Amino acid sequence: MNGFPVLTTILLAPVAAALIMTFIPRNESKLIKCIAAVGTFVSMALSLYVYFSYDTALGGLQFAEKIPWIRDLGVNWFLAVDGISLPMLLLTNLIGFSAVFASWNVDNRPREFFILLCLLITGVMGTFVAHDLFIFLLFYEVVVIPIYILVIIWGSSKRVTKEYAGMKLTIYLLIGSAFLLVGVIAFFVKAAGVLGQPNMSFTALAEAGKQLSAFDQTWLFALMLFGFGSLVSMWPFHSWSPDGYAGAPTAVSMIHAGVLKKIGGYGLVKIALYMLPVGAKFWAPYMAVLGVAGVTYAAFAALAQKDLKYIVGYSSVSHMGYVMLAIGSFSVIGINGAVANMFAHGVMAALFFSTVGFIYEKTHTRWIPDLGGLARQVPRLAVAFMLAALASLGLPGLISFIPEFTIFVASFKVYGGLAVIGIAGIILTALYALRAGANTLFGPPREEYDHLEDIRGPEMVPLVVLGTVLVVGGILPSLLFDMVNSGAATLMTHVESAVKLGGVFK
Amino acid sequence: MIPDLSLIVPELAMAVLGLMVLIFGLIIPRGSRHGLGWFAALALLGVTGLVLAGWNNGGNLYGNLYVVDQFSQFFKITFLLAAFLVVLGSMRYVDRHLGGQSEYYSILIFATLGMMVMSSANDFMTMYLGLELMTISFIILVCFRRLEAKSLESGMKYVLLAGMSSAVLLYGLSLVYGITGTVVISEVGKILAMRAPLPLLMLGVVMLVAGLGFKISAVPFHMWSPDIYEGAPTPITAFLAVGSKAASFAILIRIFVVGMFGISLNWELLLAILAAVTIIVGNLVAIPQTNIKRLLAYSSIAQAGYILVGLVTASQDGVKGVLFYAFLYVFATVGAFTVASHFYNVTGSDEIKDYAGLAQRSPLMAAVMVVAMLSMAGIPPLAGFVGKFYLFMTIVENYLWLAFIGLIMSMVSVYYYLRVALVMYRNDPLDSTPIAVSAPVTVTLVVAMAVTLFLGIYPGPVAEVVNNAAHSFFMH
C-alpha cells in the first residue's frame, strides 16, 4: 500500500458517509445507521491496519502524506502518525464505531444525528493525525458545533437542562481555545522569526521553539496549558465536564469523555511540551499539583453523586488528573503512562457511558436509589458495567492497571508525597465504582424492571469491541506500551536535550 | 492628449450598464420585468470578467489621480461579486415588496460604480466623488419601500448622519490639504514623511478617523447602523453592510497607509483602541438582540473592528489580512442576510423566535445561516478562522492585548450566534410548511456557503492573490 493516502482515507471515510446520508430520505433510519456504521468501520479497520503495520523498531513519523496547502503561512496538508498519536487514532475509531451502535435506538431525526456524529468523529481524528499546527487547529475547533447541536437536540435534562449543558461545554472549550489561539499565533510569529520563514509543521516548530528565550517559552506554555488544560478538564477548569456529560446523548458522552478531552492531553504532550520544553519544565510542578488536586477533588465529588452519569463524569475528571500528574513528572516513563492512561481511560469511559446510556434507555432513570438488582434482569449489560467499573479502579488484568502503575512509578520518583496522595485516590475510586455497581446491579431485583430486555444484536457491539480491548490490553500490555514508548522516547530525547540548552537568554 | 481609457473599461461598462437598465425599465411594461434582475446579475458577472481580464494591466490616469493596481482591482472584484449576489438574492423581494421597480437595479449598479471609483481614487476629490455617488445611491435604496414608515425613517436618518459624517470627513481632508498643499494621496504621503507632525495635522487625522469611522460603523460612530439596517430593505442592508463598508476600508487604507505612512506612530494606537472598542461593544450589544437584522447589524459592527486590526500595523501583512477578510466577509454576510430576506418574504417576520424549526422547514437556509455566522465568529474550518489568523498574526508582536481582546470576544460572539442555531435546530416549528427556496436565492446561498467553506479549508490560492495585491499596493 505504498503511496496510498491511508490516513486521508481514514479521515474522510466518515465524511463520505455523512455526505451519502444527506441524500437518503429522512425516514429510512435503518439505512442511515448502516451507512454510518460502514463509514466508521472503514476508518476503524484501516486504523487497525496502520496500528499493526507501524514499525515500532523504526519509530518516528510513518504513513506521512504531505501536500503544500497555504504557502504564505508555511502550511502543509501534513498527516503522519507516531507512537503517541497512533494509539489515540485507534482509540477514536474504536469508540466512534461503538458510538454508532450505542445510538442504534435514536429515532428522533436520525439523519441529522448520524451526520453530525460522523463529522464529530472526523474532527477528533483530524487532530491526532495532523502533523501541522494549522491543520491541527482546523480540526481542534471543528468539533464544537456538532457537539453543541447534538447536545441541545438529543441530550437529556435532569439536574441541568440540556441547553445549559451544551452551552457550558461550548463556552468552556471556546474560551480555552481563545487563549490557546493567542499562544499559537504568537508562537508561530516568533518561530517564523527564528526559522527565517513561516513553517507550521510540528517538527520545524519544535526546532524553533527550543531556541526561544526561557521567558517566551514560559508564557507561551502558560497560554497553551490553559487552553489544553481546560479541554482535558484539569482542575479547577473541569466543571463543564460532569454537567456536560450528564446533558449529552450517550454517543456524545462516549466520544467526549473517551477521546475528545484526550485532545487536551495529547496537545499538552505533542505540542506544548514538545515545542516549548523550557516552559514545560517551569510549569511541570504546577501541573502535577493541579493533577493531584483534580484526582482527589473529583473522586470525593464522585462519592457524593447519586446520578450514574455524574459518577462517570467526575471519575473521568479524576482520571485525567493522573494524566496531568504524569506529564508533570517530566520523564519518558511519565509520558508513557500519560498516553497509555489516556488510551485506557478512553476505552473504559466509553464503555461506561454506553452501559449507563443503555440502563437509562431501558429504565428511564439514572438515579441510583431507584435502581437495583439489574444483574438478574439484564446480565449482559451488567457484565459490561462491571468490566468498566473494575477497569476504572485499575484492577490488574484489565487495561488500566499498568498505565496507572507506570504513572505512580514515574511521579513517585519526582514528587514523593504528592504522588502518594494521588495513589490514595485509587481507594476512593474503588469505593465509588464498586458502590455504584453494587447499588445498581446487585441486591434484590425490582419488579418494575422484570420486563426489561437485555441488550442484544447491534446493542452488543460496544460491549464486544470495547470489552475486548479492555481485556486484551490488560493481558498483552506490550501491544500498547511498545507503541507508546517508541513515540515518548523520541519526544523526550528532544525535550531533554532542549532543556539542557535551557532556552536562549536574551 | 487622450488618456488611456483601457484601464477604466470596467467603470465605463458599469456606467453604461446602469443607464441601460434604467432605459430598459422604461421601455418594458411593468409586469414583464422579471428578467431584468437576471440581466443585471449576469452583466455584473461580465464586468467582473472585465476586471479579471485587466488584472495584470495596472497604471494611473489623469496625472496620478486615478490608480488601477491589483489592490483596487481586488476590491472591485469584491464589490462586483457582492452586487451580483445581492441582485440574485433580491429578485423575489423586488417583485413582492418593491413593486418590481427597475430603478432598484440601476441605482444598485451606480452604488457599485461609486465603490469602484473609491477603491481606485488616489486623490481626495475623486475619492469624495465616488463616496458621494455611493452614499446618495444608498440613501435612495434605503428608503425604497416608500410606503413603509420604517424604511422612510431610516432613509431620513441616513441622509442626516451621512451628510454630517461627510462634512466631518471633508473638514479633515481640507485640513490635510491646508498643511500639505496637495490633494493627491501619494503626494501627501511624500510630504508628510519629511515633516514633523503639527497639532493641526493631528486634528485633521482625528477628523478623518471620525468621518471614515462612521462609514465603517466603528464604535463610537456606529449609532446609525442598527436602526438603518433594520429599516432598510433586507437585500440593501446586506449590500450596505458589505459594499459600503469594504469600499470605506479601501479609502481608509489608502489615506492612512499611503498618505499618513510617515506619521504612522501617531495613529496606530488610535486605531488599535478604536478596533478594540468596536469589537467589544459590537459583540456585547449583539447578545440581547431579538431581531435578526439588528443582531447582524451589531455583529457587522464587530466585524469592522476585526478588519481594523489589520490596519493597526500599517504593514503589507496587515493589508493582506484586510483584503482577505473583506473578501470572505462579503460571502458570509450576504449569505446570512439573504436567508433573513428570504425568510421575511415568506413569513413577514424578522424576529429570531420565528426562526424556530427552520432546520426542518428549509435545511439549506438553516445551514447557510449557521455557516455564515460561525465564519464571522472565526470557527474553523470556515473562512473566518483563516481571516482572523492573518489579521491577528500582524499584531501579536506589538499589540498582544488587542489579540487577546479580539480572540476572546470572538468566542463570546459564538454565544449569540449559537442562540440563533439553537432556535433553528432544536425548537419545533410553529408552522411546519416547508419553505421553498427559489432558484436565484438558492444560487446565492450555495455560492455563499461553498466559498465560505472552501476559503476556510483551502485558502491558499486566494491568499496568494491578496498577497500580490497587497504587494502591489506598497510598490508605489
Domain total for chain B?
A: 1
Q: Is B90:B235 a contact under the CB 8 Å cutoff? A: yes
Asked, as a colleague might, if the bond just before A5 is cis with ω within 30 of 0, I would say no
A1 pLDDT band, cuts 50/70/90, is very low
Q: Which residue from A250, A235, A248, A224 is spatially nearest to A296, judged by alpha carbons? A: A235
Contacting residues for B65 by C-beta, under 8 A, at least 6 apart? B121, B122, B123, B125, B126, B184
Counting one residue from chain A and one from chain B, the pairs whose CB atoms sit within 8 A come to 91
So what's the pLDDT on residue A505?
A: 46
Question: Among B397, B418, B464, whose Cβ lies nearest the Cβ of A170?
Answer: B418
Give which of B414, B424, B454, B457 to mutate to test A binding, by max A Cβ within 10 Å.
B414
Average pLDDT in the A187-193 region? 91
- Separation of alpha carbons B82 and B161, rounded Å: 24
So what's the pLDDT on residue A98?
A: 92
So what's the pLDDT on residue B402?
A: 92
What is the DSSP code (8-state) at residue B436? P
Place of cell 504546577: A286
Cell of B1: 492628449
Give the residues across from A79 on adjacent strands.
A65, A130
- Separation of alpha carbons B205 and B179, rounded Å: 12
First CA to last CA across chain A, in angstroms? 49
**Count H helices, E strands: chain B?**
20, 2
Name chain B contacts of A141, Cβ cutoff 8 Å: 379-380, 385
Report CB contact under 8 Å: B385, A152.
Answer: no
Cell of B153: 425613517
Distances (CA, A) of A444 to A358, A374, A377, A448, A455: 20, 9, 11, 12, 21
| A-chain residue closest to B455, CA distance | A70
Encode chain B (476 residues) as per-residue pLDDT tens digits. Answer: 566 788 888 999 999 999 999 898 888 877 777 788 889 999 999 999 999 988 887 788 887 888 888 899 999 999 999 999 999 988 888 877 776 677 889 999 999 999 999 999 998 999 999 999 999 999 999 988 888 888 888 889 999 999 999 999 999 999 999 988 889 988 888 888 887 778 888 898 899 999 999 989 888 888 888 889 988 888 999 999 999 999 999 999 999 888 888 788 888 888 999 999 999 999 999 999 999 999 999 999 999 999 999 998 888 889 999 999 999 999 999 999 999 999 988 888 889 999 988 888 888 999 999 999 999 998 888 999 999 999 999 998 889 999 999 999 998 899 899 889 888 988 888 888 888 888 889 999 999 999 999 998 898 889 889 988 888 888 65
- Separation of alpha carbons A292 and A477, rounded Å: 25
Contacting residues for B436 by C-beta, under 8 A, at least 6 apart? none
- Separation of alpha carbons B246 and B307, rounded Å: 9
Range(s) of the domain holding residue B52: 5-475
So what's the pLDDT on residue B260?
A: 84
% of chain A beyond a pLDDT of 90: 40
| B-chain residue closest to A153, CA distance | B426
- Separation of alpha carbons A399 and A391, rounded Å: 7
Strands (E), A281-387: none
Report CB contact under 8 Å: A178, B410.
Answer: yes
Cell of B105: 437595479
- Distance from the Cα of A393 to chain B's closest Cα (Å) equals 37
Question: Among B374, B380, B392, whose Cβ lies nearest the Cβ of A185?
Answer: B392
- Separation of alpha carbons A50 and A83, rounded Å: 11
Report CB contact under 8 Å: A185, B374.
Answer: no
- Separation of alpha carbons B297 and B303, rounded Å: 10
Q: Say which range, A64-73, A341-350, B330-339, has the weakest mean pLDDT.
A: A64-73
A12 pLDDT band, cuts 50/70/90, is very high
Question: Among B392, B408, B414, whose Cβ lies nearest the Cβ of A170?
Answer: B414
A506 pLDDT band, cuts 50/70/90, is very low
Place of cell 488599535: B272
So what's the pLDDT on residue B320?
A: 92
Report CB contact under 8 Å: B418, A167.
Answer: yes
Name chain A contacts of B453, Cβ cutoff 8 Å: none
- Separation of alpha carbons B29 and A116, rounded Å: 50
So what's the pLDDT on residue A504?
A: 52
- Separation of alpha carbons B5 and B22, rounded Å: 24
- Distance from the Cα of A47 to chain B's closest Cα (Å) equals 24
Report CB contact under 8 Å: B407, A181.
Answer: yes
For residue range A359-389, what is the model confidence (pLDDT) as tens digits? 888 888 888 888 888 888 888 889 999 999 9
Cell of A78: 501534513
Name chain B contacts of A171, Cβ cutoff 8 Å: 411, 414-415
Q: CB burial class (10 A; 0-12, 13-18, 19+) of residue A496?
A: middle
Q: What ipTM does the predicted assembly reach?
A: 0.88
So what's the pLDDT on residue B237?
A: 92
Q: Following CA atoms A87, A93, A94, A100 in sequence, which dihedral angle do they give, to the nearest 10 degrees?
A: 160
Residues of chain A with a CB closer than 8 angstroms to some CB in chain B: 68-73, 112, 134, 137-142, 144-145, 148-149, 152-153, 163, 167, 170-171, 174-175, 177-179, 181-182, 185-186, 188-189
Name chain B contacts of A152, Cβ cutoff 8 Å: 422, 425-426
For residue range A293-310, what is the model confidence (pLDDT) as tens digits? 999 999 999 999 888 889
| Sign of the Cα pseudo-torsion (B423, B426, B432, B434, in order) | positive
Q: Is A41:A97 a contact under the CB 8 Å cutoff? A: yes
Give which of B418, B419, B462, B471 to mutate to test A binding, by max A Cβ within 10 Å.
B418
Please list, residue by residue across B175-198, b when 16 or more beta carbons sit within 10 angstroms of its beta carbon and e when fewer do.
Answer: bbeebbeebbbbbbbebbeeeebe
Report CB contact under 8 Å: B458, A69.
Answer: yes
